């Protein structure tokens, strides 16, 4: 029954890392996945153009929560430009389980929201 829901992924779902909201933030962005009703709010503290701290408030399926949890662990000290350049493969490699086409949006919601938030902060258009 279960090749997508490996224990490690489920651990990130049940105990998501960097979960919650920063009180003191420079970037706040809310996004949803209308397909399944996943909701996500990110808050980011920026210092010298680098991510000093980030929190994800994610409510949704195991795939979307686990992917935001895993992504959150990779972000500290990255420059905003570096984050904008992260591609979908980066997140899919982090998740490291086969994601069916219908679930890609769940897996990629956190990266998309993060990039949109940063682009808004920098006053740039997000290149899809």
Residues at the site binding other proteins, with contacts judged by CB under 8 A: 1-5, 10, 34-39, 59-63, 100, 103, 106
25's CB contacts (< 8 A; 6+ apart) are 43, 44, 45
Q: Which is nearer to other proteins, 35 or 126 (CB)?
A: 35
CA–CA separation, 111 and 88 (whole Å): 8
State the minimum distance, in angstroms, from the CB of residue 37 to other proteins. Answer: 3
State the minimum distance, in angstroms, from the CB of residue 2 to other proteins. Answer: 5
State the minimum distance, in angstroms, from the CB of residue 41 to other proteins. Answer: 14
28's CB contacts (< 8 A; 6+ apart) are 41, 42, 43, 44, 117
108's CB contacts (< 8 A; 6+ apart) are 67, 88, 91
Q: Which is nearer to other proteins, 35 or 96 (CB)?
A: 35
State the minimum distance, in angstroms, from the CB of residue 1 to other proteins. Answer: 5
Closest CA to 115 of 38, 34, 36, 54: 54
Q: Which is nearer to other proteins, 18 or 38 (CB)?
A: 38
* Residues forming beta bridges with residue 30, ordered by sequence position: 41
Q: Which is nearer to other proteins, 5 or 25 (CB)?
A: 5
């Amino acid at each position: 029954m279960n090749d997508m829901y490996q224990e490690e992924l489920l651990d990130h779902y049940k105990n998501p890392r960097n979960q919650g909201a920063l009180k003191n933030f420079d970037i706040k962005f809310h996004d949803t996945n209308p397909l399944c009703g996943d909701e996500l709010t990110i808050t980011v503290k920026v210092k010298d153009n680098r991510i000093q701290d980030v929190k994800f408030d994610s409510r949704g399926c195991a795939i979307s929560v686990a992917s935001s949890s895993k992504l959150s662990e990779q972000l500290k000290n990255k420059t905003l430009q570096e984050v904008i350049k992260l591609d979908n493969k980066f997140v899919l490699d982090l998740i490291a389980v086969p994601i069916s086409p219908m679930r890609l949006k769940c897996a990629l919601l956190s990266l998309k929201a993060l990039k949109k938030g940063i682009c808004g902060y920098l006053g740039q258009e997000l290149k899809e």
